[in-house]
Structure 1
Amino acid sequence: MFKPCLSLGLGLVVGLFALWGCGGGDDRPSSATTVGSATCTNTCHASTKDITGTPIAAAWAGTEHTTDDKVQCEDCHGPGSQHMGVGNIPFPNPQAAQCEVCHKDKKGFDSTIHANPEPYNGTNPTSLSGPDKFFFQGDALNSGTAEIMGEPEFLPDGVTPVTHARHIEECSRCHNPNQRFQYGNADGKGELINPNPNKMPDPPNITCSGCHDAHQAEKKVKIAQRKDRVAYPVFRKFFVNPTGEQNDDIPGTQLAASIYQPNGAVQPDGTTDYSKVIGRNNEINPERLCASCHAKGKYKYSQLATHQSDVYTEWLKSGHAARSAAPFAEFSANPLAYTDEATGKPFDVGNHRATWPFDMSLTAAGTTASTSQNGGYVPAGSTEVSNAYACYKCHNGIGSLAWQDNVQGTSKAPVIFGDVTVTCITCHDPHKDVQGQSKNTRRPEMMTNYSANGLTIQGNYFLDKQPVLLEKTGNATICVFCHQGRESGLTLYYAKLAPGRTITGSFFNPHYLGTAAMLWGANAYEFPDKLYGVDVFHQATGDANCTGCHMGEVTKDGLNGGHTWKPNVKSCNTSSCHATIGEVGVKSGSTATPDVDNYRTASDTNNYTGDPGGASLSIARSIQVLQGKLIAGLAARGVYYDDLNYPYFFKTADPATHTASGNPNGINNFTDWTPALYRSAFNIQFIIKGLPSKATSQVNVPNASASVHNARYSIQLLLDSYENLTGSPLTGAVRPAGTRPATIYGAGQ
């Protein structure tokens, strides 16, 4: 194998489906007849290896694609009577069309960027159309000097030219990965023989077998939860260094069968054996298949850096990839193998601990768990059962797909075999594009599926029943799916504040990272006599919202922008936006993050805090001051807020009495709620937990998250909650004007 080269953009190249065959095909030449698979595998191809180095006959014979679904060689390659080792065979490198004869539900792949539906038209090499079959070399002859982006290409000696054919080979590593290249001389200096320079593949594209191992498309395993064996896909073998560097020579980085991990807790018979969970050996890494092209590599011959963006290493720096962070470490098979950044110690084995295999076809959390169904008692001897079914909407990148497709609890839902974060295929669907979106970004079938306490919300809505505006959210629609939290003012009302409900008891937590809901002015507890506003600037149509700020131009050192999701100051400092918001947190080179802690538009002279000098405070600092006033108001009424310790509201002031050791059995938890206390507590949590808990409290720092995602909405909520709690508006404070009436919940809101 040779070094990776070109990228096909941000559409990602991994799939979860297995290629079940159904026999037959419609593209067979009328003059050719079938000869049977035995003729292929017992004669010429008994020891032939495919482009990945896998023996074809053995792999084909051992896959359920063959044994269960009876797929034969000629179902994919076409009838072989005119081939016999010397003549043509209809489909030597079967394209997606051959797979789609059976897999009709995957025809959407044909319009994706991987399928190259708009090959280069010969007029403008820098246009958005795909590459031509010669990758802009003009021809595939071994004469002449190849070019990279118009510059001559040489071997590392700087003298010997790289030929056109060899540069086409370099580009095909990603753009046409099933193409085998052969030259006339053993030293590689002869003329190109295969493919025929006069019959080059046109157009180059990624087909199904570019990602799936075509000769062993799936394997099956028996698990305790299901009567029938469960299929899992087997992917092509690529080599990717876990740190992102692409290098075929690094051992131990081969990727195959990435959705199944038989070396960890899941055994070949489908049982769970936790004695075999050693360190982090239950991690699965489907993103490494995408990384084989979507990361910087080197051209095979010139050894120059390839041209694509380094998406994989950007992603490795992001929260989505942070396996050691609480959202993923706590849901791993072995939390003890991960270090809690807040304490510097391993995570406890709590009731979030995963038990693999986990069957997303089973229904609601807690109702089906047993030692054989999504179960296992953890820790040993405990009566607690781990069943994170609902949590996997966001806390497991494979489980999320069941929720996105709205098949959770049905036979169509996947089985999860290992720990995984928010990975490439969580947000990108390599098999289709969605109208109005790009880059294969997913659009969930049902944004909200909520049913509790007599309230049902199902469909394209936020958790307060406001519609999600798909025409505006665009590629960021997938962001809203997880980043709206899991409760709202409406669900709080139905659970605790509606007539006849029991208000006392554990705090009703809106959950974390609800910044997408905040951005769109949704899900907080709203007061019926008030008007609320939206952040019209950060809600701009399409990719100007979440992705416009969080995926702006990546910095040269790769620390901000792109798939790091850490805003690059350049995304703010544009002539149509803030121009000079300032820079802070310079890491190296040109890397800088927006200085939103200290930013305030010069034309905004309102005093939002009511304090002397309040009009000169930054917006983030103003929100922090308002939070402090509301927290103090709660404390004056015996409710003490601690954003570092669950359940966050206590009847004691000392933080030491809020920790696990200082709060045995939750004796210090505040439970004596009143409507006014609950409304204020819910909104404080909604605003402060817009970002996840840090190692230090977020109470005493400027709330940059709330100021950026929707300052107007956040300030309105804080002032309204203060007034509701104390009975009077905050003296001297200016409430931003609202544009829409509050969401109405019901009697007594």
Structure 2
Amino acid sequence: MADGKVPKDCARCHSTAGFHDFLGVDGSEPNEVDGPVDQRNGIACVACHNLTLLEIEEVTFPSGMSVEVFTPDARCMVCHQGRESANSINQLLEDAGVDDDVLSDRLDYIDGHYVTAATRFGSESGGGYEYSGKEYEGFYFHDEDSSLCIDCHSLHTEKVEVPSCDSCHLKVKEPKNYRSVRKTKADWDGDGNVKEGIGREIAALKNRLFKAILLYAKSVAGSPMVYDRETFPYFFNDTDGNGKANDSEVNTDNRYQHWTPRLVRSVYNLQYVNMDPGAYVHNPFYAAQLLHDSLADLAGKVSVDMSGMERP
């Protein structure tokens, strides 16, 4: 952010003026931001409390796919939808024009950027990278009492309110209990435990995919990788080979640049799920499908034990 200005690409969701510009509240053409905006007022109440937002009946995702929304969720979904989609990945791979396991300097990491609303709508949003020949979950309907964002989240802090859960999930007494909830008997992670919470199934799948990605990066792409969740672009060269992201490695100049199409796809899906900490609630089936299929894709080139794993 330079000179107190929010860049054009960020202004839509990180400033009141940018959000109003995107909505057309200021009289400008809607669905685009004209340029950098002043950040001095931050996100003010009027950002979301305005008549224009009340009239929105459709929200368009980065994929170009749109969904009808006749609820207050529209004001959340305009921003909490990410910035990339499977289309971004497909275009990148098409431009590179190389086989699945061939390195190309035309490939790079693409970041979905906080995809909560997109996760909830699953394949109807086109957010995750969906593998050819596979079927994917669409909108995930939780229940009639938890169908809106604000049915579970505080309107202004986004914090999940426990009372919204414990009327049905009797064991949920505090936030740490959320991950213990389960609605399927399928063993997604193949560990033989079908009583653990679905959040733990998702976490185990993410961990397996992450390990497979590191193995692929080292043995197929030919360059070890490390990950730092707090620092963009998150994936860096493991220059000392110790498997840990050290301070000297976590910087833009050392970003990972040894990409193949197969690695781009799997990393995108891993981060897609990572960037929605509540994916196991918003749409656990879609999240698990993306992780499972990415693992299966990598299993074609590196050793991945998928025995006992059931795809949703």
Smaller-chain TM-score bracket: 0.7 to 0.9
| Distance in 1 separating the partners of 2:105 and 2:143 | 35
Question: Which blocks of at least 5 consecutive residues in structure 1 are unaligned?
Answer: 1-351, 359-386, 435-439, 448-459, 551-560, 585-592, 692-704, 737-749
Displacement, 1:648?
1.2
| Distance in 2 separating the partners of 1:414 and 1:464 | 22
Q: TM-score under structure 2 normalisation?
A: 0.81
Displacement, 1:408?
6.3
Distance 1:401 1:636, change over 3 A: same
How many residues are paired up?
A: 286
Deviations 1:57-115 (A, max 9, x none): xxxxxxxxxxxxxxxxxxxxxxxxxxxxxxxxxxxxxxxxxxxxxxxxxxxxxxxxxxx
Q: Out of 217, 231, 236, which is 1:645 matched to?
A: 231
Distance 1:465 1:731, change over 3 A: farther
Matched to 1:648, the amino acid is: Y
> Is 1:524 matched with 2:100?
no
| Distance in 2 separating the partners of 1:562 and 1:417 | 25
State the Cα RMSD in Å. 3.0
Displacement, 1:442?
6.1
1:547 is aligned to: 150
Matched to 1:498, the amino acid is: E
Contact 1:607 1:733 in 2 (8 A): yes
Displacement, 1:609?
0.5
> Is 1:625 matched with 2:204?
yes
2:297 is aligned to: 724
Displacement, 1:540?
5.5
Matched to 2:189, the amino acid is: T
| Distance in 2 separating the partners of 1:415 and 1:498 | 31
1:608 is aligned to: 188
> Is 1:596 matched with 2:175?
no
Correspondences of 1:325-724 after superposition (within 5 Å) = 352-353=1-2, 355-356=3-4, 388-405=7-24, 407=28, 416-429=37-50, 432=51, 441=54, 443=56, 460-471=59-70, 474-494=71-91, 496-500=92-96, 504-511=106-113, 513-521=114-122, 522=125, 523-534=127-138, 536-538=140-142, 544-550=147-153, 561-574=154-167, 578-584=168-174, 593=175, 595-601=177-183, 604-613=184-193, 615-637=194-216, 638=218, 639-652=225-238, 653-656=243-246, 659=247, 661-663=248-250, 666-667=253-254, 669-691=255-277, 705-724=278-297
Displacement, 1:627?
0.4
Deviations 1:307-349 (A, max 9, x none): xxxxxxxxxxxxxxxxxxxxxxxxxxxxxxxxxxxxxxxxxxx
Contact 2:226 2:245 in 1 (8 A): no
Contact 2:228 2:250 in 1 (8 A): no
| Distance in 1 separating the partners of 2:17 and 2:197 | 41
Contact 1:401 1:426 in 2 (8 A): yes
Matched to 1:707, the amino acid is: Y
Residue 687 of structure 1 aligns to a residue whose secondary structure is helix
| Distance in 1 separating the partners of 2:250 and 2:273 | 25
| Distance in 1 separating the partners of 2:236 and 2:268 | 14
Contact 1:505 1:673 in 2 (8 A): yes
Residue 390 of structure 1 aligns to a residue whose secondary structure is helix
Contact 1:503 1:674 in 2 (8 A): no
Contact 1:687 1:714 in 2 (8 A): yes
Displacement, 1:467?
1.9
Residue 534 of structure 1 aligns to a residue whose secondary structure is coil
Matched to 2:93, the amino acid is: L
Displacement, 1:416?
4.8
Distance 1:571 1:416, change over 3 A: same
| Distance in 1 separating the partners of 2:166 and 2:237 | 45
Deviations 1:123-143 (A, max 9, x none): xxxxxxxxxxxxxxxxxxxxx
Residue 650 of structure 1 aligns to a residue whose secondary structure is strand
Displacement, 1:680?
0.7
Contact 2:22 2:30 in 1 (8 A): no
Distance 1:631 1:665, change over 3 A: closer
Matched to 1:595, the amino acid is: N
Question: Which blocks of at least 5 consecutive residues in structure 2 are unaligned?
Answer: 98-103, 219-224
Displacement, 1:646?
1.8
Displacement, 1:399?
1.6
Displacement, 1:415?
8.8
- Tell me: higher relative CO, structure 1 or 2? Use CA pairs within 8 A at least 6 residues apart: 2
Displacement, 1:641?
2.8
Contact 2:289 2:311 in 1 (8 A): yes
Distance 1:417 1:707, change over 3 A: closer
Matched to 1:392, the amino acid is: A
Residue 683 of structure 1 aligns to a residue whose secondary structure is helix
Displacement, 1:547?
1.9
Matched to 1:643, the amino acid is: R
Residue 624 of structure 1 aligns to a residue whose secondary structure is helix
Matched to 1:621, the amino acid is: R
Q: TM-score under structure 1 normalisation?
A: 0.35
Matched to 2:180, the amino acid is: N
Displacement, 1:716?
0.5
Distance 1:573 1:418, change over 3 A: same
Contact 1:504 1:671 in 2 (8 A): no
| Distance in 2 separating the partners of 1:729 and 1:489 | 26
| Distance in 2 separating the partners of 1:620 and 1:579 | 14
Distance 1:645 1:579, change over 3 A: closer
Distance 1:583 1:681, change over 3 A: same
Displacement, 1:397?
2.0
Distance 1:503 1:711, change over 3 A: farther
